[in-house]
Chain A
């Protein structure tokens, strides 16, 4: 087992990660020393932190590439294989109905949910949001809301590839829902919800989801992998916006209800402002 994971693998991954980080470090250093020209407090601690991030990301990617991605890709291929979907007797995929893809939808949902929970950049944003909102937005609440959004988005995206509908109808309807929902959701969540669309799809989700989309587009007759294989990520970035706003609406509704109940019990009749708005 160790011969497959050689030192050179580790070295190459660290090199690759460093290449991504170097432009960022150059920009930070350039501005720090040429424009700001002031000492950074805790410089040593920050450098150690950067090294941890570098090591962490390298190990993370190495582990994913060695273990999870190959398996995930093979699974996506097997699940989208017509032989698996129809059973062993026939291989004529043209007669398949969209409802024959049950396991594929479940797989898409589960991949979307579980990879988003493990997504490092979402963890970062959730920590910051919880800090800034003084705990009103909980780290886990946000992460689960986003993960559900990605799961729903990818499932719907898979359905689109199966039936072959044009992508822009789905995305534009999604936009309309987002714009309408913005009017009803608490104002404090809007910016964070819009952000959560972009953060969901980076390291973990993209390779697995891309394999799923390409596998499907290759299997289903009449789909071109080049054209129909794309678009899953767009779904995965749109639906978290809705679920995060939905999450905020739910929190607001629960706190309002709870306050109303305690108001009925006591004489205290303060205005029904939910706790998220107060902060």
Chain B
């Protein structure tokens, strides 16, 4: 118990240090550059306290819950030896965590507005809702496929840099084909898809897989799942924008 409290205090101190740059930035720009008083200093302080507490709890729970479950499931599925289940699991994890992602919902809504303004779709509510729904599905499916590709790469030990470079070539080709207005959104959709809970889980999955297979180095082979999950949406969103 005492050990836990000590660990908690240590992480709290770490969180304070993590947030120091943000606080300095806000104070400097508000007071020195914009030369305005801090609005609601009390609320600001309370918000910061919540952020510090939140970050502390998150990191504490990360090592207790998220990392162990991700790794243990990777071990069990690898031991089971069924490629199909492993691929299904990887796809479900990618698809399931992306479809509900708030950042993606926001981005796809704005993307529908862009498409309507550019005249690709009718500007009616219905057409926009359909478009953004289709975009969300596209991104979620492509994240699922991205993680599956990454998992298969770990199993087969394929070199990552050739695959990523190949992905880049596809992005460049699609950029030449896709309508101008979709490009910015497509590029952004690669970055917004991986949420705060997905990242630790997927990282643990990759590292767990790589350490349970003989001849794989967890550092070289275990990472890279998120790289694929951020690359495939760019390609698929541009395909989506071209087809519709």
A interface with B by C-beta (< 8 Å): 1, 4-5, 16, 19-24, 26-28, 30-32, 35-36, 38, 40-42, 45-64, 66-68, 71-72, 74-75, 78-79, 84, 103, 107, 110-111, 113-115, 117-118, 120-121, 123-125, 127-129, 132-133, 137, 167-168, 171-172, 175, 178-179, 182, 187-188, 190-192, 194-195, 197-203, 206, 226-234, 236-237, 279
Is B19 a contact partner of A28 (Cβ separation < 8 A)? no
**Can you list 9 A-B pairs, Cβ within 8 angstroms, ordered by A?**
A20-B97, A31-B73, A52-B60, A56-B54, A59-B50, A63-B46, A71-B44, A128-B67, A199-B194
Which residues of chain B have C-beta atoms less than 8 A from A191's C-beta? 160, 219-224, 227
Residue of B nearest to A210 (CB): B106
For the complex formed, measure the closest distance between the CB of A175 and the CB atoms of chain B, giving whole angstroms: 4
How far apart are the CA atoms of A111 and B23 in the complex, in Å?
Answer: 11
List 3 A-B pairs, minimum CB-CB distance, nearest first: A67-B47, A49-B65, A52-B61
For the complex formed, measure the closest distance between the CB of A276 and the CB atoms of chain B, giving whole angstroms: 9
Residue of B nearest to A71 (CB): B26
Is B18 a contact partner of A118 (Cβ separation < 8 A)? yes
Main secondary structure of the interface of B (DSSP, over half): helix
Main secondary structure of the interface of A (DSSP, over half): helix
Residue B9 CB within 8 A of the other chain: no
Which residues of chain A have C-beta atoms less than 8 A from B117's C-beta? 226
Is B197 a contact partner of A63 (Cβ separation < 8 A)? no
Contact of A24 among B96, B114, B175, B229 (CB under 8 A): B96
Query: Is the interface on chain B under 10, 10 to 19, 20 to 34, or 35 or more residues?
Result: 35 or more
B interface with A by C-beta (< 8 Å): 18-19, 21-22, 24-26, 28-30, 33-34, 36, 39-40, 42-69, 72-73, 76-77, 80, 85, 89, 92-93, 96-97, 99-103, 110, 113-114, 117, 160-161, 164-165, 168, 171-172, 175, 180-181, 183-185, 187-188, 190-201, 203-204, 207, 217-227, 229-230
Given contacts A1-B43, A56-B59, A58-B54, 5 further A-B contacts (CB under 8 A): A27-B93, A53-B62, A59-B54, A114-B21, A201-B192
For the complex formed, measure the closest distance between the CB of A65 and the CB atoms of chain B, giving whole angstroms: 8
